[in-house]
Structure 1
Amino acid sequence: MSANTNQNNVAIAVKNLDYAFGHGNLKKQVLFDINLDINAGEIILMTGPSGSGKTTLLTLIGGLRSAQSGSLKILDKELFGASTRQLAHARRQHGYIFQAHNLHHSLTALQNVRMGLEVHPHFSPKEMNKKAAKMLDQVGLGEHINYYPDNLSGGQKQRVAIARALVSHPKLVLADEPTAALDSKTGRDVVTLMQTLAREQDCTILMVTHDNRILDVADRIVNLEDGKLKPLDAVAA
């Protein structure tokens, strides 16, 4: 598979990144000297055993944690040393898909997707509703916009989560085990959908996964074991 990349346009540049939990005698290092460059437009899958640090690295890249060392440049913004306000601003530029979809059960599918636009103050309520409805239609849920999560299947909930992540047309989408709770066919459909929409919107995807059935969607695969990143492997075309 050929990536729609520009070698001079790096979406993610991680240099000499370490990370540890705790302090003093309780301190435990979980990431060791991480170096990773991802070009704009690439679809990268991150694999590795449970507890290897994949989710920690993803949350650092997503601005959900503060970097402790090294350099973490995301969409040309340095996150190491960033203030809480700067991290919040950085998070608005990303789409984040959680393993458990994290939908608000008191909100309809439309309202859940709209949340992806509410951090962008330049959209009017009417525009947000229109964009959210259009994105739900793109993920095959055009007739379910007024459904609440409890009335949706697992695959449909994950499609709502994808719509929420992509509705603002972010340049970067981060996904943490998006197929973990799905059966084989639904998982494949969800990832193919992510791949298609990402290509249409020209965004970069970094996805953590244990699902060997979806590795073929990647432009490259990175392996994280014991907090250390293995060399990138190109996926055969």
Structure 2
Amino acid sequence: MNANTKQNKVAIAVKNLDHTFGQGNLKKQVLFNINLEIRSGEMILMTGPSGSGKTTLLTLIGGLRSAQSGSLKVLDKELFGASTRQLAQARRQHGYIFQAHNLHHSLTALQNVRMGLEVHPEFSPKEMNEKAAAMLEQVGLGERVDYYPDNLSGGQKQRVAIARALVSRPKLVLADEPTAALDSKSGRDVVTLMQNLAREQGCTILMVTHDSRILDVADRIVNLEDGKLKPLNTVTA
């Protein structure tokens, strides 16, 4: 764990959180009394079987769904009871990395990364291009700024997705199975890259994964099974 983690403030505080899908006879509870605290600067991996509620919890923390109960405080903002506008504002503070990288195939690597800045009106078009190019350089794709996704490998596409998530220097990065489609080396490279860049920027990472090959990079591991959070485990070297 980072030496200063205990002194850092809380980045995510989830208390007594339940979540249900559907109505009437189709109603199904998928999260049960979730309580979780993550401090600024921590890298947390969330594991568990498919269908255990990991992605649902990640999307709630990311403001992509509305919290139905309890308390969900992210970066000092309470998301339970938040309006659509407030959720949109909260999302601007996050970097989100999807399993399938979700790049726009009609846009270049530079244009894809630039999208991570377009919700920030304080940047001019020139500044956005400069920041996007610099971030692609940091992830090792400085010579591929004008490449389209179809001309990039799987690992390179995920690097573009990481660059897009980090280009606005977010305080929180949420990642949903970012190594699922990658081979062992590419997966390790991607996670190490996320870890290094995020620590340089001082942000918190919460990553959903089934990939046992990368568990050693975590400060802590959270295990979710059948919608219930298991005790936290500390990773030791």
Q: TM-score, normalised by structure 2?
A: 0.99
**Structure 1 residue 81 corresponds to structure 2 residue 81:** yes
CA distance, structure 1, for counterparts of residue 2 and residue 25 of structure 2: 47
Give the direction of change, closer, same or farther, for the CA distance of 1:207–1:157 in structure 2 (3 Å limit): same
The answer to whether the 8 Å contact 2:222/2:232 transfers is yes
C-alpha deviation, 1:2, in angstroms: 3.1
Q: Is the 8 A contact 2:108 2:148 kept in 1?
A: yes
Deviation >2 Å, runs of 4+: 1-4
Please tell me whether the aligned partners of residues 31 and 228 of structure 2 are also in contact (alpha carbons under 8 angstroms). Answer: yes
The TM-score normalised by the length of structure 1 is 0.99
Which residue of 2 is the match for residue 27 of structure 1? 27
Alpha-carbon deviations, 1:71-103, whole Å to 9, x = none? 000000000000000000000000000000000
For the pair 1:153 / 2:153, whether they are aligned, the reply is yes
Change (3 A) 1:80 1:218: same
Tell whether the 8 Å contact from 2:2 to 2:42 is kept in structure 1 after alignment: no
**In the alignment, does 2:123 pair up with 1:123?**
yes
What SS is found at the alignment partner of 2:64? coil
Displacement of 1:5 in angstroms is: 1.7
Unpaired segments ≥5 residues, structure 2: none
Distance 1:4 1:207, change over 3 A: farther
How many residue pairs were aligned? 237
Query: What is aligned with 1:194?
Result: 194
Q: Percent identity?
A: 88
Please report the RMSD computed on the Cα atoms of aligned residues, expressed in angstroms.
0.8
Q: What is the CA–CA distance in structure 2 between the aligned matches of 1:4 and 1:193, rounded to whole Å?
A: 21
Q: Is the 8 A contact 1:3 1:42 kept in 2?
A: no
* Equivalent in the alignment of 1:102: 102
Matched, 1:133 2:147: no
What's the counterpart of residue 226 of structure 2? Answer: 226
Unaligned runs of 5+ in 1: none
Q: Distance in 1 between matches of 2:71 and 2:229?
A: 16
Determine if contact 1:198/1:204 at 8 Å carries over to the other structure: yes
Aligned mates of 1:104, 1:69 — CA distance in 2: 35
